Amino acid sequence: MPQVTRFDDTIIRYMRQHGAEKIGVFGSYARNEASSNSDLDLMVWFKEQKSLLGMIRIERELSELLGVKIDLLTEQAVSPHLIDRIKKELKVIAS
């Protein structure tokens, strides 16, 4: 799969350790419009459902590891009004 961000390898390694089956990037990084203030939007499919606290911990740890704010979503957590737009720009980095 083509590299989407300079963080792909680290994201994949970290998320696989936490049970991710599929990982995608969307938002400004996926559109190649990221700036130094941009957060990194990730959609992740896990083997087993994560608790809210588990998701917050993963998001925080990955943000600290990469030095960039992470917004971590699962498909189930996304508003039905947004899911189509997200899927259109989603770039899968691991499946």
pLDDT range class, residue 1, cuts 50, 70, 90: low
CA–CA gap between residue 78 and residue 43 (Å, rounded): 9
User: Is the whole-model pTM more than 0.95?
Assistant: no
Domains defined along the chain, listed by start:
8-94 (3.30.460.10)
Average pLDDT, integer, range 72-84: 91
Residue 4 pLDDT: 83
The secondary structure of 20-73, three-state, reads EEEEEEECCCCCCCCCCCCCEEEEEEECCCCCHHHHHHHHHHHHHHHCCCEEEE
pLDDT at 3 over 80: no
